[in-house]
């Protein structure tokens, strides 16, 4: 047969036939057959599918066929893809029959259809209650499947997947048998319509993948920016630690020097100069005492007393002048240190103020970076949430429609 033999038949199936075929592909199970419930199950499933569009029924049917032959993905970008896929399915069916049924001696798809037709005819002769026509009606198809599997006798030992593999030749025979006789132009139109439907589905899936990649790239970009901002924050923190350390060292130096300078300034008036200054104060006080005494005495007595103390007063004046000169000499000797003290302290105080200003500025920068990093984290969470949703949708589409 031509390699397109099953391509035109599958697009020529009626909606009713597609529903029955798909119901059997999805619901055929060992338990259903053993319990004799396959008929009601197929009827319910076919009724449930009554609202599905034709192209969706066709696509789901092809997916179930591919699952039976263990294909993980399918592509129908053009007619050749569908032809090759149907050829792959028919080859798998032939291999199954060759491997499992010794009576089969054929090599082609036509041989397979003849062989399956003979088995269907044998069922009709064996059971007179079965309708003579194998038509796409759930009850009738269920009777034929039940008879077909009961004859083999190995039903209890089969898994559902193995059961469907054994049913694959029969299902392909049904596909070929139920195909409507339509013009080739109409078949081509149906085929083109299905390919367009698949491309639309694939377009939606590709769009989901593109959006997923966009969110993934956005996350990567935001993570790079976040890493850069975190690095900048570490640099700022290092600078802040250095400035705080510098400020603390200045304060510590001032704390260590201040007692020394206070002691040095106090020493000027507590050491030798202090003794001299105290002596001056005592001499001045004595002079004032003498003047007061003179004021209380009479004139003659005052003159007499002044004559007695003239020598002492002259000596006191000379001593006061001498001590004053020495005090000034002591202070002149410390002039350089005294004049430098305010400059030193003002410079260190200015350095502390500069450090405080830098600390405040760095803290402002750090706060801004913290706000920006939080914004990056929020953006990453936003993209991750969308990416997770898209990932679930993509996986669902991969599972449901066999996209890659």
Question: What pLDDT was estimated at residue 38?
Answer: 92
Specify the pTM: 0.76
Question: What pLDDT was estimated at residue 331?
Answer: 62
Nearest of 271, 390, 384, 397 to residue 330 by alpha carbon: 271
Angle (CA) 129-134-136 rounded to 5° is 120
Question: What pLDDT was estimated at residue 1?
Answer: 47
Handedness of CA 43, 137, 74, 91 (dihedral sign): positive
Half-sphere exposure of 125 (CA within 13 A, CB side): 6
Pairwise CA distance, residues 363 & 240, whole Å:
8
Question: What pLDDT was estimated at residue 254?
Answer: 80
Question: What pLDDT was estimated at residue 264?
Answer: 67
- Strands of 259-332 (E only): list them: none
The residues, ordered by sequence, that sit 6+ positions from 250 with a Cβ below 8 Å of its Cβ are 348, 351, 352, 355
Burial class (CB in 10 A: 0-12, 13-18, 19+), 7: buried
Question: What pLDDT was estimated at residue 158?
Answer: 85
Kindly list the distances between the CA atom of residue 268 and the CA atoms of 33, 107, 227, 256, 329, in Å, as whole numbers in the listed order: 119, 125, 61, 20, 11
Rg (CA), the chain: 55
Question: What pLDDT was estimated at residue 3?
Answer: 46
Tokens of 267: 């020493």
Question: What pLDDT was estimated at residue 305?
Answer: 55
Q: In sequence order, what DSSP letters do the residues of 361-388 get, joined into one string?
A: HHHHHHHHHHHHHHHHHHHHHHHHHHHH
Report the b/e string of 341-378 with b at 16+ CB within 10 A: eeeeeeeeeebbeebeebeeebeebbeebeeebeebee
Nearest of 152, 120, 121, 363 to residue 239 by alpha carbon: 363
Cβ atoms of 160 and 26 closer than 8 Å: no
Q: If DSSP codes are grouped into helix, strand and coil, which group holds residue 134?
A: coil
Question: What pLDDT was estimated at residue 4?
Answer: 60
| DSSP letter (8 states) at residue 273 | H
Question: What pLDDT was estimated at residue 385?
Answer: 98
The residues, ordered by sequence, that sit 6+ positions from 336 with a Cβ below 8 Å of its Cβ are none
Kindly list the distances between the CA atom of residue 57 and the CA atoms of 26, 41, 60, 63, 198, in Å, as whole numbers in the listed order: 12, 18, 5, 10, 12
Pairwise CA distance, residues 93 & 360, whole Å:
79
> Taking the chain (404 residues) in consecutive chunks of 10 residues, what is each chunk's mean pLDDT?
74 96 92 89 95 96 94 93 94 91 89 94 89 93 91 77 90 96 94 97 97 97 96 95 93 79 64 68 72 53 55 72 70 63 82 92 95 96 97 96 92
Cβ atoms of 138 and 42 closer than 8 Å: yes
Pairwise CA distance, residues 303 & 317, whole Å:
19
């Amino acid at each position: 047969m031509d390699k397109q033999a099953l391509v035109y038949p599958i697009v020529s199936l009626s909606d009713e036939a597609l529903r029955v075929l798909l119901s059997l592909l999805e619901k055929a199970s060992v338990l259903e057959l053993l319990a004799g419930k396959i008929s009601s199950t197929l009827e319910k499933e076919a009724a449930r599918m009554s609202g599905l569009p034709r192209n969706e029924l066709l696509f789901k049917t092809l997916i179930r066929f591919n699952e039976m032959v263990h294909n993980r993905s399918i592509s129908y970008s053009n007619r050749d893809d569908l032809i090759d896929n149907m050829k792959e399915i028919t080859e798998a069916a032939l291999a199954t029959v060759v491997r499992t049924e010794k009576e089969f001696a054929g090599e082609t798809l036509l041989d397979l259809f003849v062989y399956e037709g003979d088995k269907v005819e044998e069922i009709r002769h064996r059971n007179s209650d079965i309708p003579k026509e194998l038509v796409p009606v759930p009850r009738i198809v269920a009777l034929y499947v039940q008879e077909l599997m009961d004859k083999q006798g190995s039903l209890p030992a089969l898994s559902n997947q193995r059961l469907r593999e054994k049913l694959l030749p029969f299902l392909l025979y049904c596909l070929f048998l139920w195909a409507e006789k339509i013009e080739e132009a109409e078949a081509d139109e149906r085929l083109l319509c299905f390919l367009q439907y698949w491309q639309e589905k694939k377009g939606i899936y590709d769009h989901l993948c593109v959006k997923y990649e966009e969110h993934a790239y956005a996350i990567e970009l935001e993570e790079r920016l976040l890493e850069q901002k975190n690095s900048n924050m570490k640099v700022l923190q290092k600078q802040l630690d250095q400035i705080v350390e510098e400020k603390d060292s200045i304060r510590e130096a001032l704390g260590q020097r201040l007692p020394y300078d206070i002691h040095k300034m106090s020493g000027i008036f507590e050491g030798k100069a202090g003794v001299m200054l105290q002596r001056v104060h005592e001499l001045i006080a004595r002079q004032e005492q003498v003047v007061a005494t003179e004021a209380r005495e009479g004139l003659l007595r005052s003159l007499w007393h002044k004559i007695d103390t003239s020598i002492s007063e002259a000596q006191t004046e000379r001593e006061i002048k001498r001590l004053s000169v020495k005090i000034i000499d002591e202070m002149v000797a410390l002039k350089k240190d005294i004049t430098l003290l305010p400059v030193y302290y003002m410079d260190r105080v200015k350095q502390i103020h500069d450090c405080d200003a830098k600390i405040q500025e760095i803290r402002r920068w750090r706060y801004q970076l913290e706000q920006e990093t939080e914004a990056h984290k929020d953006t990453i969470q936003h993209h991750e949430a969308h990416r997770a949703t898209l990932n679930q949708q993509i996986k669902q589409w991969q599972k449901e429609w066999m996209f890659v």
